[in-house]
A and B are shown apart, each in its own frame.
Chain A
Amino acid sequence: MPTPVSLARQCLTDEAARALDDAVAVARRRSHTQTTSLHLVSALLALPSSILRDACARARNSPCSSRLQFRALELCVGVSLDRLPSSKTLDEPPISNSLMAAIKRSQANQRRHPDNFHLQQIHCNQQPASVLKVEPKHFILSILDDPIVSRVFGDAGFRSCDIKLAIIHPPVMQASKFSRTRCPPIFLCNLTGLDPGRPGLSFPFSGPQDGEENCRRIGEALVKRNGKGKNLLLLGACAGDALNRFIECVNTDGGGILPSEIAGLSVISIENEIIEFVSGGNDREKMGFKFEELRQKLEQCSGPGMVLSVGELRALVDENVSSDALSYLVSKLTGLLEGFRDKLWLMGAAAIYETYSKILGQFPAIERDWDLHLLPITSSKSPIDCFGSKSSLMGSFVPFGGFFSTPSDLKYPLRNVNQSITRCHLCTAKYEQEVAALLKMGSTVSVADQYSENLPSWLQMAQLDKGKGLDAAKTKNDGTTLNTRILGLQKKWNDICQRLHHAQPFSKFDIPQDRSQASIAEGFQYVADRKESSSSSCSRDSSLNENPCANLSLGVLVDLQNVFPKKHSIPITVASEAENVNYQSKLLKEASKSQQKEKDSPWFTHFTLPHMSLPADHTSSSSVTSVTTDLGLGILYASSSQETNTPKLCDRGEHFQQFSGFNTFEFGVGESTSRQILQSSCSNPSSGGHFDSRDYKSIRKALIEKVGWQEDAICSISQAITRCKAGYGRRRGSTARGDIWLSFIGPDKVGKKRIASTLAEIIFGSQENLVSVDLSFHGGVRPSNSVFECQEFNDYDVKFRGKTIVDYIAMELSKKPHSVVFLENVEKADCLAQTSLSQAVRTGKFPDSHGREISINNMIFVTTSTIAMGNIKFQPQKEPIKLSEENILRAKSWQMRMLTEPVAECASLSSEMNVKISRKVTSSASFENKRKLDGITKSAEEEFSYEAKKRAHKVLGSSLDLNLPVEETEDNTNSGSCDSDSISENSTWLENFIEQVDEKVLFKSFDFDALCEKIGRKISVQVQRAFGSEILLEIDDEVMMQITAASWLCTRSRAMEDWIESVLGRGCSEARQKYHSNAQYVVKLVSCKGLLVDERAPGICLPSRINL
């Protein structure tokens, strides 16, 4: 993706940006689709006096005239530009990725820039890449790195490395501009024994020549043998080449590449003799003579000794080599080695290990006798060989090489572009340095301040704030301990660390702007949080009952607020103690958390000023009566729960509007109670420490209204919530936790979900504040086309693509800091999710897969699981279930169709009902007993008339009978346990996890039979109305299932009735008109398999019309 020009311009200083504009103009003129480095070069060269042109002039080394060479350069650039594809003219051809990469590189380079060296030597790696303005010089330097560019320059006879040097070393006359360095910059320190003043600055490859790597290694291996044998066997596909090369090197240039200890070594190869010997003649005499010759040579040999190369060993293991000859050879060599231990090195090569192992097979002692060291040779040639011209790529980086690697300055400034997490120890180190400096000299100028000027405006604001705060603290505490200052430093480094080291990629910097719309109250809140603990509570989620804040009594808040507008420094001083305690331990966590904080800090700065007045208002009101305090808290709450989509909140009036809007929920929670809930959710034992039974009642009332059938569960849920809200929940250390954990255990998926969303509505203001994730999603197979899909998110796939479930949850959590988090099927959570959940329930922070933690304070976590474990057992099902939840969940969302058929044999109508359910037996695991037999003939259609069933099942009186098995012994617990094998490994974790939650809530299974019966009655009434009492409507079991499922799902109480009246009623009357059916016919309602519902009736997941 090319980058828009405007974005790239932000990274550049004005001067460099002008050059970029010129480049864009060039690209536009040529109708190119992108602006590349070449365009920039072209634009730079077009200027009569640019750095580049100037540098080129000085770097020129060809004999021809400068004018000519420039002409050639322009030509080359032109030709290269001509090759680029053109298209229709764009207004601003965007910046190509390579050019953008060059800009990024130059930012990195500039951070290591010598100009700033003296000032910022320890900090230069901390400026975020995105905010550093690149100077033209660095910009050009990194453009010259671009292979295309250096090739173009090469074509024109320039060497880009020369140009670079020329740019870096401006002529003396121009020294004012670039040579602010106090001492001559020490380049090239990486290069061996380089003396900065040496003329002509040798380039990196002046040392060993091509392919020396292997030779060098061989040489080294000869010298230092750390416990290994002294005689080398080179092993590897290129071992033979390496050996030959080594021999060649040693013999030609006198062993310049050898380590000094063995300089003067000579090499003799007897490879050919050996080959001849073993393959041809087996001429022992000749061979013996050769060895004698060698012996003599060795005796005469002065200097370090001699290397005897036996060459490639493959020759020795050839099939036609007699073992006799081989052993003769080996014994001879062994003898020779023993005779001249100090002077003789044996060297061989084997392309493959098998060769060696064969020899080893024949001569097991050879490794010890020959004192062999196997040296793996892995590269055929040095990569350097492959570069046509060494200068073009290699030399070009010399100027930046090892700038910081002077022995005196061992601190490597590590490049820090994206590697974010590990960085904080750097800051710690810097901070310590500063503290040390402070203690020593009392210097108030901190390095951190120095580069605030490079920060973008919003960061600068923060920086200034910080600085101001620090200064104020200093002046205020003048004469007191250094402690405050140190704390200030801590804080500052903290902030710097967050802001700089964890800078997000460039594009994300607009997030804070959105956030700036967040409410004033939140800003205030944020400030309050900072006072308490700057490190833990800066995340956006830090809301009113974030612990530190919650611990502030209202009185303290008032005080602080009074002071707050006047002095920025107060927060720091107030915080000092708490911070001192917390700081050290928190610093470590910092790294992971700072992502959030980094997002937040910007808007903190936005808020500081405009908010001064508002808190004061609050203060006055809150001190008057408790009612207004309530209101105030309500405002705080309401506004903080508003997401970023609320318009900018500037005046209080709007707050109130929102607040009033906030109370207009439909579910019958009175204004006062809802406020009460709000208050309790915002307050804590110390400020609002009263436990109000109204909370409990209102929650319970609202829940029961929605999910009437789970009364017991609702009772315990509302008790748990009120209990936790009142501060009697689990504790972390001594402070109460703001997060509440509930575990819903048992059947009734819909009921659980609805309770969760209702909780979201009553506690957090809207059903939108529900994060719902099915943890089984990744592993499990989801029934497709089911009725439930209408309700569930169809975009699961889209949401999760390329994300782990944990990251998805984390993302949602950070988006919705005040929400109910509903995690279904927690027993199927994967390992990652398990870890995160365990940590979250323990610490109150939810870590994502990158280790970033999201505060879950103020959230309600609801995990559901269908299985029972440990001491939690479901009550045994007393009554047999006829419709299991499993089957209902499987119900498909097909279209429906009404048709007529001649009356079947059992046409006798019941007295009061003219609806019956026909059933296609499916082989479902949960149907046992007699159904099993039928289950084999899977598609066999069975029809049980209503009457017939009545006989079989007296209990059911007048209602529908679903001709289900008489007894179904298996209860849900067991049906759930069928997959318990797969989750057995999870069960330990699950037990542990569930032990930690605030409340375990047992759910009953939903009474589908009753629902089904009710629906049947309704339909019956409708059918009677349409057809009269003589007509029997036969409803296919699947349709019935579908209707039941939909009815279970729908939230509106009358939705089912409405559907029956309108859709089914219309269907009936249409059918009557069409078929003119008389008593001889049965009307059937069947599902159209394979045809998905295309149009849904309002409020319910059922088709909006019935086909005929």
Chain B
Amino acid sequence: MGTNLLEALNVRVVGSGEKILVLAHGFGTDQSAWQRILPFFTQNYSIILYDLVCAGSVNPDHFDFERYTSLHAYVDDLLNILDALRVDRCSYVGHSVSAMVGLLASIRRPELFSKLILIGASPRFLNDKDYHGGFERADIENVFVAMEANYEAWVNGFAPLAVGADVPAAVREFSRTLFNMRPDITLFVSRTVFNSDLRGILGLVKVPCCIIQTSKDVSVPASVAEYLKTHLGGGSTVELLRTEGHLPHLSAPALLAPVLRRALSR
């Protein structure tokens, strides 16, 4: 990738503000997911948008199955992008997997981030002794089997579930981006995500975080937000969003944007 990283990951900078805001999309979407959030911020921020390498909008050739075996490779990408753009400080909004990427990146380069905003973040999706991540290992394996067997059916079932709220447009949009991903990449990335466990390292995060949690999220139980809040090392707040679903930026942008704005200004 190297020099072409910016191009390969479709990095865009929009807006005209002095402050820099990174919007990082989550699993199954691409940067277009932020489209409805963008207008709220373009005046006051320069917004960096990029696609995760697993996104459907990125040439699948770039997805190196050897490299992207853990979230660290995604962190590398993020940091490389920020370095290439000569960003020395920014606020970061990450959704789902990108929230975790942001956490890891802030551990590695705490000076780079002034604030992390985590939407639908979970340090660990699987349940553990005294941790409720929302998924049992067996469930996950079943999901993987389902994905492998019939990606389409899985997408069609998963998209409405993930979006949660009754917003057909958001479901359509999410299905679209989900379908854009090559099935094997989707599968691979979800394995990566489900295998990762950030619980142990939350204490290393020293950047203040804001955790945005919707009232009902199929992927992230409400307890997880509390867990994050208590374990994150940088002093964090939890914002409850009065909507449902894992993708509030798709399903309820008008609700999310003010919360983001508030969180960023703190």
Contact = CB atoms under 8 A, between A and B. Distances in A.
Contacts of A381: 195
Interface string B123-148: 01000000000000000000010011
B66 A147 contact: no
Contacts of B124: 237
A353 B167 contact: no
A148 interface: yes
Interface string A825-838: 00000111001100
A101 B258 CA distance: 37
Given A376-B204, A412-B7, A397 B184 contact: yes
Interface in A870-911: none
Given A378-B70, A422-B10, A830-B254, A850 B35 contact: yes
B112 interface: no
A237 B197 contact: yes
A357 B10 contact: no
A882 B185 CA distance: 70
Contacts of B39: 806, 831-832, 835-836, 847, 849, 851
A353 B197 CA distance: 13
B160 interface: no
Nearest to A390: B65
B151 A415 contact: no
B12 interface: yes
B257 A397 contact: no
Nearest to A192: B66
B234 interface: no
Nearest to A386: B191
Nearest to A393: B184
Contact of A403 (B61, B151, B233): B61
A179 to B, nearest CB: 21
Interface stretch (A168-176, A207-215, A1059-1067, A1073-1081): A207-215
B220 interface: no
A414 B201 CA distance: 35
B61 A404 contact: yes
Contact of A396 (B144, B184, B192): B184
Nearest to B32: A419
A97 B192 CA distance: 26
Nearest to B64: A190
Interface in A117-151: 145-148, 151
Contacts of B151: 98, 101, 146-147
B242 interface: no
Interface stretch (A11-19, A21-29, A797-805): A797-805
A976 interface: no
A380 interface: yes
Contact of A97 (B71, B152, B198, B204): B152
Nearest to A411: B4
Contact of B201 (A204, A376, A413): A376
A383 B192 contact: yes
Contacts of B7: 412, 414
A997 interface: no
B72 A98 contact: no
B198 A378 contact: yes
A147 B185 CA distance: 12
A931 interface: no
Interface string B187-223: 1110110011111111110000000000000000000
A374 B204 contact: yes
A383 B69 contact: yes
A982 to B, nearest CB: 13
A181 interface: no
A419 B35 contact: no
A412 B70 contact: no
Contacts of A415: 57-60
Contacts of A205: 65-66
Contacts of B201: 235-236, 353, 374, 376-378
A196 interface: no
A832 B60 contact: no
B10 A419 contact: yes
Given A353-B204, A802-B169, A217 B72 contact: yes
A778 B65 contact: no
A377 B70 CA distance: 9
A414 B35 contact: no
Contact of B200 (A353, A400, A419): A353
A419 B231 contact: no
A851 B31 CA distance: 14
Query: Which of B38, B42, B58, B201 has most A Cβ within 10 Å?
Result: B201
Contact of A147 (B30, B149, B170): B149
Assign chain A's interface to a size class: 35 or more
B104 A801 contact: no
A145 B182 contact: yes
Query: Which size class do B's interface residues fall under?
Result: 35 or more
Interface in A799-817: 801-804, 806
Contacts of A413: 59
B107 interface: yes
A357 B203 contact: yes
A151 B12 CA distance: 39
Contacts of A214: 70
Given A378-B197, A397-B184, A412 B59 contact: yes
Interface in A92-120: 96-98, 101, 105, 112
A98 B154 CA distance: 10
A382 B65 CA distance: 10
A353 B156 contact: no
Contact of A394 (B61, B177, B184): B184
A565 B170 CA distance: 48
Given A145-B183, A214-B70, A374-B204, A418 B64 contact: no
A213 B188 CA distance: 14
B61 A190 contact: yes
Contact of A208 (B12, B66, B187): B66
Contacts of A96: 152
Contacts of B169: 801-803
A238 to B, nearest CB: 6
Given A353-B233, A404-B61, A378 B167 contact: no
A98 B30 CA distance: 20
Contact of B36 (A410, A804, A847): A804
Interface centre among A96, A204, A376, A410 (most CB of B within 10 A): A376
A351 B200 contact: yes
Interface in B23-56: 30-32, 35-36, 38-40, 42-43, 51, 56
A984 B38 CA distance: 24
B11 to A, nearest CB: 9
Contacts of B148: 147, 151, 393
A376 B179 contact: no
B82 interface: no
Contacts of B241: none
Interface string A353-396: 11011000000000000000010111111111010000001101
Contacts of A850: 35-36
A417 interface: yes
A957 B191 CA distance: 84
Contacts of A146: 151, 183
Contacts of B31: 419
Interface in A1031-1083: none
A831 B255 CA distance: 12
A350 interface: yes
A651 B176 CA distance: 44
18 contacts: A145-B183, A207-B66, A236-B200, A237-B199, A237-B200, A350-B200, A353-B203, A353-B233, A382-B69, A383-B191, A411-B4, A414-B7, A419-B30, A419-B51, A778-B254, A832-B39, A849-B35, A849-B253
Given A237-B198, A802-B170, A804-B36, 14 more contacts: A147-B184, A147-B187, A208-B66, A235-B204, A374-B201, A383-B69, A393-B148, A397-B60, A412-B8, A415-B57, A831-B258, A832-B254, A850-B35, A851-B38
Instruction: Please list the 4 inter-chain residue pairs (A to B) with the smallest Cβ-Cβ separation, ordered nearest first.
Output: A353-B203, A383-B191, A802-B169, A237-B197
